[in-house]
Amino acid sequence: MHFFNRPAKLTLQLLVQRSINLKPGEGRAVCWSFLYFFSLLSSYYILRPIRDEMGIAAGVERLQWLFTGTFVAMLLVVPLFGWITSRYRRSRFLPIIYGFFIVNIVLFYFLFEADTGRAWVAGLFFIWLSVFNLFVVSVYWSFMADLFRNEQAKRLFGFIATGGTAGAIAGPALTAILVQQLGSSRLLLISALLLGLSVLCIHRLLAWQEAATPAAGAAAEAPLGGGVLNGLFLVLRSPYLLGICALILLYASLSTFLYMQQAQIVRDAFDDPATRTAVFAGIDFAVNLLTLLIQAFFTGRLVQWIGLAKTLALIPLLLSFGFLVLGLQPLLPVLIVVQVVRRAGNYAIMRPAREMLYVVVSREQKYKAKNFIDTVVYRGGDALSSWVYSGMRGFGLTLSAVAWIAVPLALLWAWIALRLGQQQSVLSRHRSQPMERSEHER
């Protein structure tokens, strides 16, 4: 009887400590980081199935234009982000960014309620959410890389990522359950409330860093300085960051190929917009449930077992096999399986490992260069690959032929990922050596 009376909080704490090797003083930061990512991705995943349906409503044949519009929007937003981060301290610019997107969501609610100009509103929402997704998640991981050291990142990022996965399960589940009763527009208000919760988490994490490491917290609060285009210049001056650009371009291109194939097949299979929204929500739910299972049993230990380099290369290798199967059997069930495995592998393994690449760079690179790569480079890859895909289809290439072309691209992606992981380890050792010498002198 005594066992069953043990406090649930203590039991949960022991499980967490054993699974991620939590050290004293880290618990509060990990919990707020977990909740931050949960609320952020819950907010986004309520909106994602609506976006996918809006992409069909705007016209599958026009998807390449929507991807191009997203890229142009990124070119406009990134200099604004550079200006804000150059002039405002971190505790100011982070809430400003999320507050801006909350206002946007409320404005789209009123546009959807008015139900005027459906086609242009659909296209505008598709572009906006594509910007929103990459931008707010990029800022999140920049903040995480700024809060935690490299050693902490390898232990904690896998568990922190499960917060996003849990949110990514809750979001589409809410959408699938409520969209028929409430309609798409009212779901936007729920999304805005969840995004507001992210702002609260930011304030709590800033307070934790200031209390835990006052010197680091004070240094991190200084404005980054520099020009609005420093993100671009920082990337061009660093072979390491250019390698990450190549990694992102290949990832974005292969993801876009699968996304456009998915849009075509789902459009042909289902006529009703609400049914298509529910199908997309179901796919999202399956992706994130699989992600959660992988993270619960593998992610936290994978980097320790096989190293960062091999962890980064794992998903591209699996995707090359997936494209090989898709080339042999370009059917809806096969495509859905490949899409689910790709996305789950990215969220559970590739994304946390990819964010570790930034822990060893400077603060300005963590925010400005990373944001440029995660937004402009990523959406540039989307736009370019969407036109390439449309061109291939225009020349009469089948879905099977496109899949065969993607196989060597996935293998190239795996090789670049492996090299970047090896270089991150070298940079990490170089950063730690001066600290070790300084401690020895003291």
- CA proximity to 191, closest of 33, 38, 47, 52: 47
Predicted confidence band at 434 (pLDDT cuts at 50, 70, 90)?
very low
> Can you tell me whether residue 2 is helix, strand or coil?
coil
- Per-residue confidence band for 440, with pLDDT thresholds at 50, 70 and 90: very low
266-309 tens-digit pLDDT: 777 777 776 776 777 777 778 878 887 887 667 667 877 888 89
3-state SS class at 91: helix
Domain assignment present for 434? no
**Does residue 8 belong to any structural domain of this protein?**
no
pLDDT of residue 205: 92
Q: Is residue 250 part of a domain?
A: yes
Average pLDDT over residues 188-202: 91
Question: In the prediction, which pLDDT does 218 show?
Answer: 57
CATH number of residue 238's parent domain = 1.20.1250.20
Residue 344: in which H helix or E strand, if any? Answer: helix 332-345
Q: Return the top range by mean pLDDT from 146-150, 199-203, 286-290.
A: 199-203
pLDDT score, position 441: 41
Output the pTM of the full model: 0.69
Dihedral (Cα; 437, 356, 142, 195), 10-degree rounding:
-140
pLDDT band with cut points at 50, 70 and 90 for residue 220: low
CB-based burial label for 285 (10 Å; 0-12, 13-18, 19+)? buried
DSSP, residue by residue, 425-439: HHHHHHHHHHHHHHH
> Quick one: pLDDT band at residue 18, thresholds 50, 70, 90?
low
Mean pLDDT across 395-412: 86
What would the pLDDT profile of 329-388 be if each residue is shown by its tens digit? 777 778 778 888 888 888 888 888 888 888 888 878 888 888 888 878 887 887 788 888
pLDDT higher than threshold 90 for residue 78: no
pLDDT over threshold 60, residue 8: no
Residue 320 one-letter amino acid: S
How would residue 410 be classed by pLDDT, with cut points 50, 70 and 90? very high
250: containing domain: 24-427
Q: What is the mean pLDDT of the chain?
A: 79
Question: What Å distances lie between residue 347 and 151, 168, 288, 303, 340, CA to CA?
Answer: 21, 10, 8, 15, 11
Mean pLDDT of 414-442: 71
Task: Tell whether 16 is covered by a domain.
Answer: no
As a whole number, mean pLDDT of residues 88-112 equals 86
Residues in contact with 272: Cβ distance below 8 Å, sequence separation at least 6, in sequence order: none
The whole-number average pLDDT for the span 381-407 is 83
Does 387 map to a domain?
yes
State the Cα–Cα distance between residues 381 and 221, nearest whole angstrom: 33
End-to-end, the C-alpha distance of the chain in Å comes to: 53
State yes or no: pLDDT of 69 exceeds 50.
yes
Q: Which of 39, 16, 28, 34 is nearest to 207 (CA)?
A: 28
Half-sphere exposure of 348 (CA within 13 A, CB side): 26
Within-domain flag for 299: yes
- Which residue type sits at 171? G
Of 313, 330, 358, 334, residue with least CA distance to 146: 358
Name the DSSP letter for residue 237. T
Q: Is 14 a domain residue? A: no
- Residue 168 inside a domain? The answer is yes
Q: Domain total for the chain? A: 1
Q: What percent of the chain has pLDDT over 90?
A: 14
335, 326 contact by CB (below 8 A): yes
State mean pLDDT over 40-61: 73
Q: Which of 419, 89, 392, 409 is nearest to 239 (CA)?
A: 419
330 neighbors 264 (Cβ within 8 angstroms): no
